[in-house]
Amino acid sequence: MNNLVRISRDDDVAVITIDNPPVNALSPGVPEGIWAAIDEMNGDPAVKAAVVIGGGRTFVAGADIKEFGKMTSGEKPRGNLLPLLLHIEDSAKPVVMAIHGAAFGGGLELAMAGHYRVASPTAQVGQPEVNLGIIPGAGGTQRLPRLVGVAKAVEMCAEGKPVSARNAAALGLIDRLIEGDLLAGALAFTREIADKPAPKTRERSEKLGTTAGNTPIFSAARDVARKKQRGLKAPLAAIDAVEAATRLPFEEGCEAERELFTECLFSDQSKALIHVFFGEREVAKIPDVPKETPVISVNHVAVVGSGTMGGGIAIVFANAGIPVLLKDVDEAALALGMSKIKKNYASSVQRGRFSQTFVDERLRLIAPVLTYDAFSDVDMVVEAVFEGMALKKSVFADLDRACKPGTILASNTSTLNIDEISAATSRPEAVIGTHFFSPANVMRLLEIVRGKKSSKEVIATCMQLSKKLGKIGVLVGNCRGFVGNRMFGPYRREAQFLIEEGAEVEAVDRALVEFGNAMGPLATGDLAGLDVGWRIRKEYRHLEKPGIRQPFAEDRLCELGRYGQKTLKGWYRYDENRRASADPEVTALVRRWSAEAGIAQRQISAAEIVERCIYALVNEGARILEEGYALRAVDIDIIYLNGYGFPAYRGGPMWHADTVGLQKVYQRICEFHQQHGEIWTPAPLLQRLAEAGKTFAAFDKEQVAAEVFEPANRA
C-alpha cells in the first residue's frame, strides 16, 4: 500500500481505507494503493472478503480533476482506472464498497466495480462529469445501465445530477442502507455475503433492455439535452456512450466510452468548465482575509424594503432557515410585499420545487414590521430600498441608531457608493454591499462590495454566509456599477450601436444567443425595464465627456414610453402573455434617427456582433482587473456566469478571451478603436498581456504567486 490507502483487519474481513483528503480524489497513488490492497487481501488466507471505505468526510469524489489539465497539456497520463476496476471485479473474494458523503464520477465507477454497495442514508451518488464538459471515463456509462436500467443511466450521465442514497437503493445501485455506524454495518453485511458467489456488474445484462425499447429513450434524452444544455457537447456524448452499452459487449463499450471521453477532455468546453469548477472555489479565497478570520454568527436578520428585491432577499434568508424581519414604511406597501412573497412560494409549490409544509415553515420565519423596534436583536440588516443616495443615507442613519453594536449593515445597492452610504453611520467598518441579482431567490450570484472601511470580519462573514444562502459570493471593489454592471454598460452600448449602424434588433440578440448567452442584450433590457438605465443615465449625464459617441436609441424609445415588457413595448413588442415579436416600428424609428444623426447604414455579420459585444466586456474587465476592483480574472468570469447568463462552457468573458487568444482580441479592439474612437481605447493590461503573449489565467497565477493583490478598493 502507500500513505493514501491503508489496509487493516477486522477479524476475517479486510478494511481498505482510502485516505486522500479533502475528498479522496483518485489522485496518482490512490489506484495503485487500492490495487495492492486487493492483492494483499486475496493473498491473506485468514480473510474472506473486503470492505472499501473512505477516510474523512466522504467516499471518493472522483478522478483528480487537477490531473486533467496535465493530460491535455501533453503530460503522459498516470494510471488508467479501467484495469483497476476490472481487477477489483475479478477479485477472488468479494469486495463491498461502503459509501458516505459522495461517490461521484470515478468514485461511483469504483463503487460499481465492487460486488456490493452499502451506504449511509445521507450519501449521494452520481456521474457529474458533464458539468466538467466530459463523460464518465472509467466504465461508468457501461456499468451504470447494468445496475439501474438504461433510462435512469442516461439521465444520470447526461444531466449530471446526484441521486440520494435512498433513491439509489430503490434503483438497485445500493444494496443496503446503513443507519448508524457505516463501517460496523458494512462489516455485518460483508459477513452475510462472504460465502456467496460475488456478482460482477459487467456480466449483468438483465436491465439493458431491447433496441425497440431503448431507441425512444435515447432520442428523448437527446432532445432534452439539446434544449436544456444548449450548446454543450458532453451530454450528447454521454448519451452515445450509454447507447454503446446497449449495443456492444462490455469491453467494446468501454472502448467507445474512452474515445468519447478523450474527445470531450481535449475540447475547449471541458477546459472552460474545469476552469469554472476551480474558479468557483478560488473566489472564496481573499488574500488579506484569511480562512482563520473570525466570523459573526448570523442567526437573525432584517431586510429593509419589501419591494421586488427586498422580498426576494427575505425569501433567500428564510429558505436558509434564518428568521427575518421585513420592514417597510406603511401597511399597504408591506401587505403588497408579503403577498408577492406568498405568490412566489405558491408558484414554487405548484412547480413541485417545494412542499407546502416547507413553504409554511419558511413563511413563519418572515415577520413583517413597520418600525425599527425589533432591530436591536438582529445580527445583519440588508437594505433594499429605492435606489437613491439621500434615502439610503437616511435609512443607514436609522439603522445605526436601531441596531446593536456588531450588527452587519449591508446595502443591496447596484450603483451607489458604499463609502458614501457608510459615512451616514458611526460604524463604517460594519457597512458592506451585498448586491443580489434579480430574481434574488433564483440568481446564484452575490457581489459583495468592499467599502474602504469594511472590516475583515464583516467580509469573511458575508463570504461564508453566501454559501449558506446557496449563493456564490464574489468580493468586488467599490466602483460605479461594481464589476458586473460596470462591464454590462459597454456590452449593451455596443448592442445599441450595432442597431444604430444597421443591424436588426433580432439579429443582435440571435447572434449572442447563438454564442451561448441565456438571452440577447436587447431582450434583457426589455425584461429588466429600459427606463431603469434611462433614469440612471439622466442622473449621470453631467459626467459624460463631450465629443464621445453615446447610444441614443434606447433613451428615445423610453421617451416614447417604450419601457420594455412592462409596457408591452420596448425593443420588441409583446402580447398579453409577454411573448416577444419583432416590431417594424422600432426598425423604422431607429433608421430615421440614425439618418438624422448621419450614421452610415451597413450589413453587419453575426461574427462582428459577437466580437463587438463580447470584446467590450473583455476590455472593461481588463480595466477593472488592473484597477484592482476584481481580485482575479476568474472572479470576473464567475460573476458573468452566475449573474449575466454567460455560457459556462466558454468559461466566462476573460477565459473566452484567453481561448480566442489575447493577441487576436487586442488586434480586433485596436481596429474598433480606429473605427469608433476613444470608447474603444484598449485597456493597458490587455495590451501588455497581448504583447507579452500571455493570458489572463497566467496573470492570475502570477498575482497569486507574487501575492501582489491590491485590496479590491484602492481608488
Residues acting as catalytic residues: 109, 129
Rounded to the nearest 10°, the torsion over CA 546, 551, 552, 553 is: 180
Task: Identify the residue among 14, 15, 81, 366 touching ligand 3H9 (CB under 6 A).
Answer: 81
Q: Does 281 bind ligand 3H9 (CB under 6 A)?
A: yes
Q: Does 138 bind ligand 3H9 (CB under 6 A)?
A: yes
CA atoms within 13 A on the CB side of 481: 16
Task: Identify the residue among 85, 117, 129, 319 touching ligand 3H9 (CB under 6 A).
Answer: 129
Q: Does 237 bind ligand 3H9 (CB under 6 A)?
A: no
DSSP 286-327: BTTB-TT-------SEEEE--SHHHHHHHHHHHHTT--EEEE
Cα–Cα distance for residue pair 9/30, rounded to 1 Å: 19
Q: Does 128 bind ligand 3H9 (CB under 6 A)?
A: yes
Contacts with ligand 3H9, 424-443, as mask; x by CB under 6 A? --------------------
Of the pair 128, 653, the CB lying nearest ligand 3H9 is at 128
Q: Is 137 in contact with 120 (CB distance < 8 Å)?
A: no
CA 448 to the chain's CA centroid: 16
CA atoms 86, 118, 105, 165: torsion sign:
positive
Of the pair 23, 254, the CB lying nearest ligand 3H9 is at 23
Q: Does 130 bind ligand 3H9 (CB under 6 A)?
A: no
Q: Does 279 bind ligand 3H9 (CB under 6 A)?
A: no
Q: Does 241 bind ligand 3H9 (CB under 6 A)?
A: no
DSSP state, residue 479: S
Task: Identify the residue among 30, 49, 51, 64 touching ligand 3H9 (CB under 6 A).
Answer: 64
Smallest gap from Cβ 245 to ligand 3H9, in A, equals: 14
Task: Identify the residue among 65, 224, 369, 536 touching ligand 3H9 (CB under 6 A).
Answer: 65
Q: Is 6 in contact with 17 (CB distance < 8 Å)?
A: yes
The number of residues that bind ligand 3H9 (CB under 6 A) is 25
Q: Does 79 bind ligand 3H9 (CB under 6 A)?
A: no
Task: Identify the residue among 94, 105, 311, 564 touching ligand 3H9 (CB under 6 A).
Answer: 105
Smallest gap from Cβ 16 to ligand 3H9, in A, equals: 19
Q: Does 106 bind ligand 3H9 (CB under 6 A)?
A: yes
Smallest gap from Cβ 461 to ligand 3H9, in A, equals: 18
The position carrying cell 480574472 is 633
Per CB under 6 A, the segment of 132-140, 150-158, 348-356, 484-492 that binds ligand 3H9 is 132-140
Task: Identify the residue among 104, 372, 396, 615 touching ligand 3H9 (CB under 6 A).
Answer: 104
Q: Which of 60, 184, 174, 177 is nearest to 117 (CA)?
A: 174
Q: Does 137 bind ligand 3H9 (CB under 6 A)?
A: yes
Cα–Cα distance for residue pair 63/315, rounded to 1 Å: 37
Task: Identify the residue among 33, 94, 140, 682 touching ligand 3H9 (CB under 6 A).
Answer: 140
Smallest gap from Cβ 261 to ligand 3H9, in A, equals: 6
Smallest gap from Cβ 281 to ligand 3H9, in A, equals: 4
Q: Does 25 bind ligand 3H9 (CB under 6 A)?
A: yes
Q: Which of 192, 184, 27, 172 is nearest to 100 (CA)?
A: 184
- Region 511-540 residues binding ligand 3H9, contact defined as CB under 6 A: none
Q: Does 699 bind ligand 3H9 (CB under 6 A)?
A: no
Smallest gap from Cβ 317 to ligand 3H9, in A, equals: 21
Question: 55: which residues sit within 8 A by CB, 6+ positions away?
Answer: 6, 17, 18, 19, 21, 24
Per CB under 6 A, the segment of 110-118, 133-141, 364-372, 380-388 that binds ligand 3H9 is 133-141
Smallest gap from Cβ 673 to ligand 3H9, in A, equals: 39
Task: Identify the residue among 3, 11, 22, 390 touching ligand 3H9 (CB under 6 A).
Answer: 22
Q: Which of 478, 461, 492 is nearest to 628 (CA)?
A: 478
Q: Does 484 bind ligand 3H9 (CB under 6 A)?
A: no
The partner residues of 271 in beta bridges, in order of sequence, read: none
Burial class from Cβ neighbours inside 10 Å (0-12, 13-18, 19+) for residue 606 reads: middle
Smallest gap from Cβ 440 to ligand 3H9, in A, equals: 23
- Region 251-270 residues binding ligand 3H9, contact defined as CB under 6 A: none
Task: Identify the residue among 23, 53, 443, 657 touching ligand 3H9 (CB under 6 A).
Answer: 23
Q: Does 63 bind ligand 3H9 (CB under 6 A)?
A: yes
DSSP state, residue 394: H
Of how many residues is the chain composed? Answer: 715
Q: Does 468 bind ligand 3H9 (CB under 6 A)?
A: no
Q: Is 372 in contact with 304 (CB distance < 8 Å)?
A: no
Smallest gap from Cβ 237 to ligand 3H9, in A, equals: 12
Q: Which of 63, 67, 69, 57 is nearest to 23 (CA)?
A: 57
Per CB under 6 A, the segment of 44-52, 64-72, 351-359, 381-389 that binds ligand 3H9 is 64-72
Q: Which of 322, 304, 513, 489 is nearest to 409 (CA)?
A: 304
Cα–Cα distance for residue pair 586/589, rounded to 1 Å: 5
Smallest gap from Cβ 65 to ligand 3H9, in A, equals: 4
Rounded to the nearest 10°, the torsion over CA 26, 29, 33, 35 is: 80
Would you call 63 helix, strand, or coil by DSSP?
strand
Of the pair 138, 465, the CB lying nearest ligand 3H9 is at 138
Rounded to the nearest 10°, the torsion over CA 700, 702, 708, 710 is: -20
DSSP 544-602: SPTTS----HHHHHHHTT--BGGGTBSSSEE-TT--EE--HHHHHHHHHHHHHHTPPP-
Contacts with ligand 3H9, 83-102, as mask; x by CB under 6 A? -------------------x
Consecutive H or E run containing 143: helix 140-148
Q: Does 136 bind ligand 3H9 (CB under 6 A)?
A: yes
Smallest gap from Cβ 62 to ligand 3H9, in A, equals: 3
Smallest gap from Cβ 470 to ligand 3H9, in A, equals: 12
Of the pair 23, 633, the CB lying nearest ligand 3H9 is at 23
Cα–Cα distance for residue pair 596/495, rounded to 1 Å: 19
Site residues, ligand 3H9 (CB under 6 A): 22-23, 25, 58, 61-66, 81, 102, 104-106, 109, 128-129, 132, 136-138, 140, 278, 281
